[in-house]
Amino acid sequence: MGSHMSRTRSVYWQGIRAGAPFLLVVAPFGLLFGVVATEAGFSLIQAMAMSILVIAGAAQFASVQLLVDGAPVFIAVLTGLAVNLRMMMYSASLMPHIGKALIWQKVLMAYFMVDQSYGVSIEKYERAPEMPLNEKVTYFFGVISAIAPFWYGFSFIGALLGSAIPPEYALDFAIPITFIAIIAPSLRSLPHLAAAVVSVLVALALSWMPYNLWLMVAAVLAMITGAQVEKWLETRK
């Protein structure tokens, strides 16, 4: 029993250490969201409610920015949902690893499913497929334990300070760096590469579309491309 608990604690700390490097970008990411939400007219409570309930930085930015630009509310909501479509794919790819977890565990994991917790965890699971189920779940919660408090905390600080944070701090650097750090290690297969290329090309070609609608089109076409390439590879086998 003692060795089991010791092993569980060890795996949990491994998750925390694996997620810790992302704190360097989660902090400015959260600050920036707080500032943008405040400038969009959100109160402190509204900004924090969105950060806690949605806990999805990219979707929150996309929706708030559209509201700032005067887009209809349904377009802002639709864009947020489209940006988060990737969470469905994240969940599908995690199912072979954590599908037999307890219901309450899967519900919590669904809430804490963000790019960082998914990217770090799936990379670990694929490197160590022999990990027991309880260790996989523990590792996931270790990763998000390092990240979630920083997201909440720095969103709060950003919303509290608002425009007092000088724009020359250029906090928006955190957004592309976050996604590069998450996506780059996974671009090891043809389906991943194909989806990435299609998303970039479509986004550039349709950048003229209003209300960032190019984002939704690029996301859907990229997912379709990745799925079709994977299907094609399976039929070749």
pLDDT in tens, 90-110: 888 899 999 999 999 999 999
Please check whether residue 203 is in contact with residue 214, taking contact to mean a CB–CB distance below 8 angstroms: yes
pLDDT, greater one: 178 or 236:
236
Distance CA 32, CA 206 (A): 26
High-pLDDT (> 70) share of the chain, %: 84
> Three-state SS string across the chain, please?
CHHHHHHHHHHHHHHHHHHHHHHHHHHHHHHHHHHHHHHCCCCHHHHHHHHHHHCCHHHHHHHHHHHHCCCCHHHHHHHHHHHCCHHHHHHHHHHHHHCCCCHHHHHHHHHCCCHHHHHHHHHHHHHCCCCCHHHHHHHHHHHHHHHHHHHHHHHHHHHHHHHHCCHHHCHHHHHHHHHHHHHHHHCCCHHHHHHHHHHHHHHHHCCCCHHHHHHHHHHHHHHHHHHHHHHHHHHHC
Give, in order, the Cα–Cα distances in Å from 74 to each of 63, 66, 70, 71, 77: 10, 10, 12, 8, 5
Segment 129-156, tens digit of pLDDT: 899 999 999 999 999 998 999 999 989 9
For residue 222, the model assigns a pLDDT of: 84
Please check whether residue 155 is in contact with residue 33, taking contact to mean a CB–CB distance below 8 angstroms: yes
Segment 5-16, tens digit of pLDDT: 788 899 999 999
Please check whether residue 47 is in contact with residue 159, taking contact to mean a CB–CB distance below 8 angstroms: yes
Q: Is the confidence at residue 65, as pLDDT, over 80?
A: no
Segment 35-50, tens digit of pLDDT: 888 877 888 888 888 8
Using pLDDT thresholds of 50, 70 and 90, give the confidence band for residue 221: confident
State the residue for tokens 């950003």: 158
For residue 89, the model assigns a pLDDT of: 77
Considering the entire predicted model, what is its pTM?
Answer: 0.73
| CA-based end-to-end distance of the chain | 45
Interior/surface letters 138-153, b for 16+ CB within 10 angstroms, e for the rest:
bbbbbbbbbbbebbeb
Please check whether residue 47 is in contact with residue 34, taking contact to mean a CB–CB distance below 8 angstroms: yes
For residue 86, the model assigns a pLDDT of: 74
Mean pLDDT lowest for which of 4-13, 108-117, 179-188? 179-188
Amino acid identity at 78? L
The two tokens of residue 34 are: 């707080």
For residue 169, the model assigns a pLDDT of: 54
